[in-house]
Amino acid sequence: MYYGRGREIRTPDPLLPKQMRYQTALCPEYNIVRYYTMPKNKSIDSIMLDGNFCSEQILKELRTWIKQLLLNGIRLPSLTVFLIGDNDASKIYVQKKIQACNSLGIQCNLKQFSNNIKIEEILSEIDYCNTDQNTDGILVQLPLPSHLSTLEICSRISPSKDIDGFNPQNVGRLALRSPQLRPCTPKGVMALLDFYKISPESKHAVVVGVSNLVGRPLALELLLKGATVTCCHRLTNKLEEHVKKADLLCVATGKRNIIDCEWIPRQCTVIDIGINRDSSGKIVGDLDQEKLVGNVYAYTPVPGGIGPMTVTMVLVNTLEAHSTHLNLQFISPTST
């Protein structure tokens, strides 16, 4: 494993180099984890892509990195999280990120603001963190109160400290096939696929839901990996026909059962990124998981699929930003 200069890991299985100018060039470097012995599947016919297990393996390597920092007397990474307003879900997500940072040894500073705070005050706080040499990463928990501009706030964060990867410069670099800090949920999806040796290359990937936070950057990530990508949204006609052609289906609509699981091909890998609650209060995805098991090649559970991967990618991005700021290089003892 290779750390440093904002780069994550070089593995023994690198992507192909850039192709001819007018072809779709694969990303020259992207692999977050190597492969480990997989736990036995509960399902006989379908592979469950266990985000909890994958996250645990990544965290083992990140802890090795932290130990190397301590042994060399280098300051530990520092993340500042902005929590604005009183959104209950946001409070839960922020608490999970703080706990994850604490478990790894990352210093996490929480800045809380009232629902009616003026945008000028938020921008001023971000400016301070941008210039603070002891702050490696900045994360503004979304969604924001309606009177605040998400674009203006995300644009103010320094691209080298933008842990969520939502600064327009970072999104632009992703579109231009020269990524740095990447949005955490799409990055988590790609890491999970890589972990289970499911390559998007040359496959037809269908992304349903094209939000700025998940669907759009995920489509760009899949393009980097050589997939042929179809993006579907609320104005898409004949959604069923697109789903039936998918080798890889990624669903992030935040609404239950927009897609009938009977549309999904048997050979398809299904990534359910949705988070909902059913009538009994149970957390569920956008799809009916019971109908996926045994009827698709692979699927992510909800919960326990993309959720833990997203939190882990926050840590990966923070460590990557820290390495870039201090011009560090680390070679993991587990490197092959």
Q: Are strands 2-4 and 283-284 parallel, antiparallel or unpaired?
A: unpaired
Measured from the Cβ of residue 149, the count of other Cβ atoms closer than 10 Å reads: 13
- Catalytic residue selected from 50, 97, 161, 247: 97
- For residue 7, the SS3 value is strand
DSSP 115-138: TT--HHHHHHHHHHHHH-TT--EE
For Cα atoms 25, 27, 33, give the angle at the middle one, nearest 5 degrees. Answer: 150
Q: Whole-angstrom Cα distance, residue 118 to residue 122?
A: 7
User: In this structure, what is the dihedral angle of CA atoms 92, 113, 136, 1, given to the nearest 10 degrees?
Assistant: 10
**164 tagged catalytic:** yes
Q: Are strands 228-232 and 204-208 parallel, antiparallel or unpaired?
A: parallel
Partners of 253 in the beta sheet? none
**97 tagged catalytic:** yes
Sheet holding 137-140, edge to edge: 107-113, 78-84, 137-140
H/E element, 112: strand 107-113
- Catalytic residue selected from 50, 136, 141, 194: 141
- Catalytic residue selected from 136, 162, 164, 286: 164
Q: Whole-angstrom Cα distance, residue 21 to residue 133?
A: 39
**286 tagged catalytic:** no
Residue whose entry in the numeric block shows the structure tokens 């990463």: 137
Q: Are strands 2-4 and 78-84 parallel, antiparallel or unpaired?
A: unpaired
C-alpha distances (whole Å) from 307 to each of 21, 66, 75, 79 are 37, 23, 29, 20
Whether residue 106 contacts residue 79, with contact meaning beta carbons closer than 8 Å, is answered with yes
Catalytic site positions = 97, 141, 164
